[in-house]
């Protein structure tokens, strides 16, 4: 039976109440169930990192379909080594991997590149992914190839979300991504909105991805207002990488904000955090803790101790020729082995152990974030109305904690962490969380 969770201050009426239309009841039901699943996964990710072994499926898979691109963005190193088109996975090879992604239990597939719109089979792969049972399928694109025909095909294929990369307004974006790119990317947003309205559908939702660098600090707030004006659903703001190919490269590059530019950056970050809090995070998707850490990142400081990297736990990255990629190296080839075999392999274990001890300067919010398990659990449970649904949620959370404690006790050997007391500490922390759930029940 599908769990129904009723949140205080939100959908307070019972499901049988005629005042709530059936479609809204279903949306409410699915949203709250999804939030509970995310919380269960978070507890699993936390424990998985400690033991360097995945106890739950990754949150998402980034599947790069090509390294080819029609732009030459100043911060991107991919065009320097695009590879050969004939080395890319064929349609049938990609479909085989998609089925393995579904079998692994992944609920979120992100098709990327390079520029994924250059793949002639893109809409076929989107349709296949949804038909295979993957609930949420996104693409990340610059959007400049999205004409009327492709916009309709993307919608009809069942795409859930499309992220358009924009790094500024008008000339600022063009200076970073190429002359005329802003107008073409915005045309893609307009076409998608037009055909969604014409077809009377709400998907795909539309997001903007904005890479913060010295060239666009003045446009950080403008891009949020622009997104709002274009009926976009999300804005992700992330700091520029030293290199998006050789991610072990930690040397500052020419796109780093200067000392003189830092005060403006900090001011804009503060305004973004305030905007996020005032709108309950509805438009600005980037975590507030990540936003607050960005100025320090550009100054060469590592985020606080509560930030941890979950590379090799929270996500899988598959390259366009079928390799499993991480910032610490390649650890498998899906043309030779199954995804499940590689994901649970000794090579993957080695990568996770290296990541757990990594001290590199990094702030990728897809894998690097503050993991406050207790805080998230309390926040979630405090919003649920008392009653059977509240009890059901507590029971599921406690069940997940018990599972993680058992795995900790089973998998962590006395010399595994170099100090057996660390295992006892983690078990103690999870037991304390259980006790808090009981006491507040």
If you write DSSP's letter for every residue of 404-422 in order, what string do you get? HHHHHHHH--TTTSS-HHH
When pLDDT is averaged across residues 11-24 and rounded to a whole number, the result is 34
192 — pLDDT class (breaks 50, 70, 90): very high
pTM listed for this prediction: 0.85
* Non-local CB neighbours of 75 within 8 Å, separated by 6+ positions: 176, 211, 213, 240, 241, 244, 255
- What's the half-sphere exposure (Cβ side, CA atoms, 13 Å) at 179? 0
State the DSSP code for 219: G
Per residue in 36-49, pLDDT (tens digit) is: 888 888 889 988 88
Torsion angle defined by CA atoms of residues 388, 390, 367 and 404, in that order, rounded to the nearest 10 degrees: -70
263 compared with 71, residue with greater pLDDT: 263
Q: What is the widest separation between alpha-carbon atoms in the chain?
A: 63
CATH of domain 60-368: 3.20.20.70
203 — pLDDT class (breaks 50, 70, 90): very high
Asked whether residue 304 carries a pLDDT value surpassing 90, the answer given is no
Q: Cα separation of 406 and 414, whole Å?
A: 15
Q: Cα separation of 136 and 129, whole Å?
A: 9
Asked whether residue 21 carries a pLDDT value surpassing 50, the answer given is no
CATH 3.20.20.70 residue window(s) in the chain: 60-368
Q: Cα separation of 427 and 425, whole Å?
A: 5
When pLDDT is averaged across residues 255-265 and rounded to a whole number, the result is 92
| Mean pLDDT of all residues belonging to the chain | 83
Give the three-class secondary structure for 212. strand
133 — pLDDT class (breaks 50, 70, 90): very high
The segment with the largest mean pLDDT, out of 139-153, 354-368, 404-418, is 139-153
Asked whether residue 74 carries a pLDDT value surpassing 50, the answer given is yes
What pLDDT is attached to residue 30? 63
What pLDDT is attached to residue 13? 28
What pLDDT is attached to residue 70? 84
24 — pLDDT class (breaks 50, 70, 90): very low
What pLDDT is attached to residue 162? 97
State residue 338 phi and psi, 5-degree precision: -75, 160
* Non-local CB neighbours of 71 within 8 Å, separated by 6+ positions: 115, 142, 144, 177, 178, 181
Which pair of structure tokens corresponds to residue 405? 């404690």
């Amino acid at each position: 039976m599908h769990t129904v969770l009723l949140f205080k201050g939100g959908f307070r009426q019972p499901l049988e109440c005629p005042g709530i239309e059936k479609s809204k009841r279903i949306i409410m039901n699915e949203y709250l169930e999804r939030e509970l699943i995310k919380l269960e996964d978070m507890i699993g990710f936390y424990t998985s990192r400690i033991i360097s072994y995945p106890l739950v499926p990754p949150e998402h898979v980034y599947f790069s379909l090509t390294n080819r691109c029609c732009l030459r963005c100043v911060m991107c190193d991919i065009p320097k080594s695009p590879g050969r088109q004939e080395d890319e996975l064929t349609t049938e090879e990609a479909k085989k991997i998609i089925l393995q992604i579904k079998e692994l239990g992944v609920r979120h597939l992100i098709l990327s590149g390079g520029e994924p719109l250059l793949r002639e089979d893109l809409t076929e792969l989107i349709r296949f992914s949804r038909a295979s049972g993957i609930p949420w399928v996104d693409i990340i694109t610059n959007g400049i190839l999205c004409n009327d025909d492709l916009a309709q095909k993307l919608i009809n294929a069942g795409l859930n979300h499309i992220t358009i990369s924009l790094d500024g307004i008008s000339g600022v974006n063009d200076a970073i991504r190429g002359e005329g790119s802003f107008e073409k990317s915005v045309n893609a947003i307009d076409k998608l909105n037009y055909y969604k309205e014409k077809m009377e559908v709400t998907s795909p939702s539309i997001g903007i991805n904005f890479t913060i660098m010295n060239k666009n600090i003045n446009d950080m707030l403008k891009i949020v207002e622009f997104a709002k004006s274009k009926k976009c659903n999300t804005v992700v703001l992330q700091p520029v990488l030293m290199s998006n190919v050789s991610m072990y490269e930690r040397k500052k590059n020419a796109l780093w904000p200067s000392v003189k530019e830092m005060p403006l950056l900090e001011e804009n970050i503060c305004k973004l955090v305030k905007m996020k809090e005032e709108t309950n995070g509805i438009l600005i998707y980037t975590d507030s803790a990540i936003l607050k850490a960005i100025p320090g990142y550009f100054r060469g400081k590592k985020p606080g101790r509560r930030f941890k990297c979950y590379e090799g736990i929270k996500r899988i990255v598959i390259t366009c020729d079928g390799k499993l990629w991480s910032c610490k190296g390649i650890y498998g080839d899906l043309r030779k082995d199954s995804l499940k075999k590689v994901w649970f392999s000794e090579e993957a274990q080695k990568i996770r152990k290296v990541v757990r001890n990594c001290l590199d300067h990094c702030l990728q919010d897809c894998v690097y974030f503050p993991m406050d398990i207790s805080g998230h659990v309390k926040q979630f449970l405090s919003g649920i109305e008392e009653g059977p649904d509240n009890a059901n949620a507590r029971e599921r959370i406690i069940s997940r904690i018990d599972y993680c404690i058992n795995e900790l006790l089973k998998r962590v050997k006395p010399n595994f962490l170099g100090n057996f007391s660390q295992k006892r500490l983690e078990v103690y922390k999870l037991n304390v969380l259980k006790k808090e759930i009981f006491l507040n029940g």
